Structure 1
Amino acid sequence: MPAVRIACRASAGPAGRCCQRTISQVRDQIEPRASAAPAVAAPAVAGNVAALSLPAAGKLGPAAGMPAYYPIHDFYGFPPELFEVQYPAPGLPEMAAEVSDVVHPTWVGADVDSWGIDHGTWSVLVHAFPDASIPVVQLSINADKPLDYHLELGAKLAPLRNRGVLVVASGNVVHNLRGMDWKLADEGYDWARRFDEDARARMLTDPTGFATLDAHPDYGRAVPTPDHFIPALYLAGLAGATDAPGTEILVDGYAYGSLSMTAYTLGLSCPATPAGSGAPRPPADLPPDGSNI
């Protein structure tokens, strides 16, 4: 099964529609082959697709025992419609247990009742599988761990792909809310471009080198907090564990100066996304760092 790294904003505007088209292309490519799909940064598993993702720190989400996830609307500054989105995807206890086994001796435990699926998961899956019929296993990220830890944990997930599991990682390689400039809707600062281009070169040619990006001179501005960056390490780990990785760029671009939208596929080719769908214009009175994009 392929693996996918998605950079997508929870938006009802043009960028959201562009994201929806891109994810739909991924869905169209994988549905004939899928039997389960995990998402990193937000996992999920279904009757014939499972997604494994990363929410909060070091535990699997409520797949073990909950009949369905409840969506967590962990953001602010967006239209009311987004707070009304429901995505009651079922869990899959067997997949939760399998993830724990496959990453041993690294410990990954099950959180059976304290966390649903956050927007890192449902904002992607609601476009790919809108009927919420795909079981989801969400894997949290422990931001206290070094980058190598996440790279190695991602590599340990590789056997799941051989068993028909789709791994999805969501986030942004460059994600600096305080640096956003609403006037730069589809542009990137020089430092954002430098960092994203270096990250891209490593992902495509030396994926295990992705874990050394914290030494990049622009890392501090590109990654002021690690939550959006870390999931990419799981795709890099998977690519490094694959003999012929076939990592490709799914979509790229920048938004508001300090966000990169580069997305990748592993073992999957998709048609090009149509151009002309830029970032949406925000409310005039919304401060950049108050958007939680």
Structure 2
Amino acid sequence: MLKSTIKLFFLCNILIAQGDTEVYIFDLISNANNYSINNPINISNNDGYDNQPSFMKNGRSILFSSTRNGQTDIVSYNIRSGKKTWLTNTDGSEYSPQQIGNSKTFSAIRLDKDGTQLLYKYSMYSNKSSVLIPKLKVGYYAWANKNQIYCFILGNPPTFEIFDLKTEDKIYIDDQIGRSIHDNNKNNFVSYISKQNKDWTINTVNKKSRETQILTNTLSRSEDLNWITSKTIIMGKENKLYQYELSRNSGWIEIADLSKYGLNKISRISVSPKKDKVAIVVEKN
């Protein structure tokens, strides 16, 4: 039992594996719903781990996790000025920042030095923080509304659950899922990656009925995606980007090859609110 628990701990805590990564932003160009990218800018430009970009609701700034003084903190990058502002300065390391609604607060996963891993709420303008979900070790998450968070909960086995901040109720949805969890508000669902079978799938859970369904297969053994529109998915595999149109059902279409910029091993992807920018995490050469 001890061996299996240790194995599970290392498998599930992928988010804290410190790779040498960078965050780039590109212009996202649409031509009759056929997308392309250009004008790459390295916004992290930092040795060590830089990851989990998330656009602010105003589209003018991006939050991401970045290595500083031997740990990982949250930084805000202003797209127009190129200025970086560090937002956290705790004894622990923070990951996966997301603005909470339109407020001047954001959430992030904190990993403390004693191994405690919890989801916190932070002020944008001070180092004040408070625990959002006590006792549950959140690995990945997405906000569905101001009260409900869809979470990958680390455990044996790890599970996909909805946590209600008002009632503190938990609702089990699934297990054996990936790290890409995204709200698709127009379609009233949250998408996630199912790894139940050999061929991974992009699944949805209806926010009202809690019913799940399969949308399509992922690119083989890939799990990083986001929504450009309510009907268009963008996904990375190795050095290439692809789009998938739900309305066309035409399969995955390649839209960009990042190797021409000297970039490869795409992971996290974030799309700006105006759909004119995309942030992409790549491994440093």
| TM category, shorter | under 0.3
Q: TM-score under structure 1 normalisation?
A: 0.26
**Which structure ranks higher in relative contact order (CA pairs < 8 Å, sequence separation ≥ 6)?**
1
Q: TM-score under structure 2 normalisation?
A: 0.26
Q: Which has the higher helix share?
A: 1
Q: Which has the higher strand share?
A: 2
